[in-house]
Amino acid sequence: MSVIRPATAHDVPAILQMIHDLALYEKEPDAVRNTPGMLTEVLFGEHPKVFATMAENSAGEVRGFALWFLNYSTWEGVHGIYLEDLYVRPEARGEGHGKALLQHLAATAVDRGYARVEWSVLDWNEPSINFYKKLGALPMEEWSTFRLTGAALTAFGSRPAVAGAGSSSRSREAATRG
């Protein structure tokens, strides 16, 4: 049995450990730069924009978490939930915690009138892909994720914006609608 509840500041060490465990699973063990202070601020600061939901077993032991935030669909005209991380500890997999976390997020979306719950999964992560498909989730086959980060982000973000160069901004906006 899985008990789903909102995270509290006391959960920060467990969440951060699971973030590190997820990075290891995703073959990026040195990629996590998050700290307890950063995580506490983003989840429990004055105006949080990121949220965490915990899964516990009946004994009150943390078994997994979901970290999420709101996105917005310009076509639907309403928010959605973007699931940044879903992680269940290996020894607790198959006990229903992942399903319970996703079902909780889906219920949150339905209750609040949101249009969708979406997330990304690595192409090689077949166990997760199969799990998501069994829940009725569909891959967005025609979409590719793009990311601007690191030196490329700094270089591009440091340049002055130039209007009229290349294709029109209206065309770029139309091409990236969601």
Q: Which residues are part of the catalytic machinery?
A: 132
**Cα 171 to Cα 178: distance, rounded to the nearest angstrom:** 14
Give the closest residue to 51 by CA, choosing from 104, 122, 100: 104
Number of H helices, E strands in the chain: 6, 5
| Torsion angle defined by CA atoms of residues 26, 32, 37 and 42, in that order, rounded to the nearest 10 degrees | -60
Q: C-alpha distances in angstroms, 100 versus 2, 55, 87, 103, 139?
A: 7, 8, 12, 5, 20
CB 52 within 8 A of CB 65: yes
